[in-house]
């Protein structure tokens, strides 16, 4: 089944057929050097020169044909090698309706197609949908299935993050989780409410117990037993008020995105299952809302985790690491070959690296190298940060084993990662991704709003280790 059926939106790509490609209108994606050298269609070149088209990055010039019909379009790439890698996304927003094909020697066809697909994204759940946009006929040299899969996964992550908390609480996140599992015939189990205590997930329960919708741990299994074990854990805090240490209104405005870790691991799981990778996949999402009521957990409380470590609550707004701790402990009980967690965990990560460069943490040198290479290869920015051992002292508490909010305010992303590390067995290959899951500015391939981060690089690493 197409992944687009899961996200309930039309594909930005035309059906694959020779007839479709032949009938598609050409887009000549060119640099100023191409215009000077005259290296493309003669009629389009003459029109470009007559119109004074300079091939500035992202500029579009429609090319007329006989009888007032379109003959194609010119698309500027700017100076050779200097354009945004996914500049093709601008075409999805500027070309008129119809089927198009891109002709260029300057940018890889697969990169142009991926940019077009990601740039076509619109979140229109709460308003009248825009008119049908252009569709792209991909070049024969492009791995069309891979591009469609990546674009659909990015759209899934964005949709989940963009949906406000009144429609994306723990109940709705569970429904989305089950929908993904059903689409790919995966198995789901859920531990909900008071059962979290009896089943040994006390910190997930404590964080979510103040909300109207019960806290829960979502678990999905797919693949073949005996295959390499891959476990994905995603922070699913559907809204974060900060708890009793309440956030100011300005900091609370985008807290619908605090389940961005869950959204991204679900999108990554979609890619893995859609590609049929030979892995034993397990997905864990602690789904909660950090709310305020008489039953809310308090500053100064001491919680006992699933692992048995005690945690002093020095700030109820540092709740994500608490729910992840129980989930990571549970994940390690089955000795995964690779354990990945993704979370919108700290503002400190954004202070250090900004919104578009998520840090990741791992002690596995081979994994770190593979992620760094994949990040560059697929243009999915990531940056390794250190699990700096001397900072472990900052995670210690006065009356408990650990604090959830070290004093001092320094190295907040690192100390959060070191906190999580205490719940991962030493022999486990593990990486933690402290993502933002949000694009604060329009980009050629991404409007302002929810964003997928790191999943294409992760898929590149996983699929190379375990090719279908």
Q: Which helix (H) or strand (E) holds 323?
A: helix 320-332
Q: What local confidence, expressed as pLDDT, does residue 18 receive?
A: 61
Written as six digits, the tokens of 459 are 């898929």
Spatial CB neighbours of 378, under 8 Å, sequence gap ≥ 6 = 456, 457, 460
Task: Return the pLDDT at 130.
Answer: 83
What angle do the packed helices 412-421 and 320-332 form, to 10 degrees?
Answer: 30
Greatest extent of the chain over all pairs of C-alpha atoms, in Å: 82
Phi, psi of 386 (to 5 degrees): -85, 140
Q: Is 456 a catalytic residue?
A: no
Low-confidence ranges of the chain (pLDDT < 70): 1, 18-19
Give tens-digit pLDDT for 325-375. Answer: 999 999 999 999 999 999 999 999 999 999 999 999 999 999 999 999 999
SS3 category, 435: coil
225 is catalytic: no
Q: CA-to-CA distance for 49 and 126, rounded, in angstroms? A: 43
Position 1 scores a pLDDT of: 63
Q: Which one of the listed residues 122, 247, 384, 465 is annotated catalytic?
A: 247
CB 229 within 8 A of CB 339: no
Q: Is the pTM of this model over 0.95?
A: yes
Which segments of 248-319 does DSSP mark as H helices, in order? 249-252, 260-275
Q: What share of the chain is helix, strand, coil (3-state, %, to 5)?
A: 40, 20, 40
Selecting among 321, 350, 422, 456, the annotated active-site residue is 321
Round to whole Å and give the CA distance between 161 and 165: 9
Q: pLDDT (tens digit, 9 = 90+) per residue, 121-179?
A: 999 999 988 888 899 999 888 999 999 999 999 999 999 999 999 999 999 999 999 99
Are the C-beta atoms of residues 461 and 340 closer than 8 Å to each other?
Answer: no
């Amino acid at each position: 089944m197409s992944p687009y059926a899961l996200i309930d939106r039309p594909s930005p790509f035309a059906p694959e057929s020779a007839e479709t490609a032949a009938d598609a209108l050409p887009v000549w994606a060119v640099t100023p050097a191409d215009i000077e050298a005259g290296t493309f269609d003669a009629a389009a070149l003459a029109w470009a020169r007559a119109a004074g088209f300079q091939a500035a990055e992202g500029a579009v010039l429609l090319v007329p044909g006989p009888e007032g019909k379109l003959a194609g379009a010119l698309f500027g790439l700017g100076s050779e090698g200097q354009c945004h890698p996914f500049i093709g996304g601008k075409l999805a927003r500027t070309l008129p309706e119809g089927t198009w094909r891109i002709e260029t020697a300057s940018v890889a066809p697969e990169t142009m197609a991926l940019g077009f697909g990601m740039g076509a994204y619109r979140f229109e759940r709460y308003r009248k949908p825009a008119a049908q946009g252009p569709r792209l006929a991909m070049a024969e040299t492009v791995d069309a299935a891979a591009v469609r899969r990546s674009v659909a996964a990015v759209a899934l992550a964005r949709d989940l993050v963009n949906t406000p908390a009144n429609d994306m609480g723990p109940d709705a996140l569970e429904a989305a989780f089950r929908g993904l599992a059903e689409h790919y015939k995966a198995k789901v189990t859920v531990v909900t409410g008071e059962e979290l205590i009896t089943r040994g997930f006390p910190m997930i329960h404590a964080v979510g117990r103040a909300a109207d919708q019960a806290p829960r741990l979502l678990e999905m299994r797919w693949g073949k037993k005996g295959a390499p074990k891959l476990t994905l854990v995603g922070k699913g805090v559907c809204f974060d008020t900060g708890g009793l240490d309440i956030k100011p209104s300005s900091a609370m405005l985008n807290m619908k995105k605090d389940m961005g870790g869950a959204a991204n691991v679900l999108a990554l799981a979609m890619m893995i299952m859609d590609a049929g990778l030979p892995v034993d996949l397990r997905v864990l999402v602690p789904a909660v809302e950090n709310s305020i009521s008489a039953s809310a957990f308090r500053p100064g409380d001491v919680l006992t985790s699933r692992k048995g470590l005690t945690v002093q609550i020095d700030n109820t707004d540092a709740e994500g690491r608490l729910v992840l701790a129980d989930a990571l402990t549970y994940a390690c009980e089955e000795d995964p070959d690779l354990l990945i967690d993704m979370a919108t965990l700290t503002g400190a990560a954004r202070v250090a690296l900004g919104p578009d460069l998520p840090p990741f943490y791992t002690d596995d040198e081979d994994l770190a190298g593979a992620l760094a290479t994949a990040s560059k290869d697929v243009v999915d920015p990531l940056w390794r940060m250190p699990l700096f051992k001397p900072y472990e002292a900052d995670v210690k508490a006065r009356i408990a084993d650990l604090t959830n909010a070290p004093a001092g305010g320094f190295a907040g992303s690192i100390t959060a990662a070191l906190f999580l590390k205490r719940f991962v067995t030493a022999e486990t290959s593990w990486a933690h991704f402290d993502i933002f899951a949000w694009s604060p500015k329009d980009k050629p391939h991404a409007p302002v709003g929810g964003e997928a981060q790191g999943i294409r690089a992760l898929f590149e690493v996983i699929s190379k280790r375990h090719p279908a």
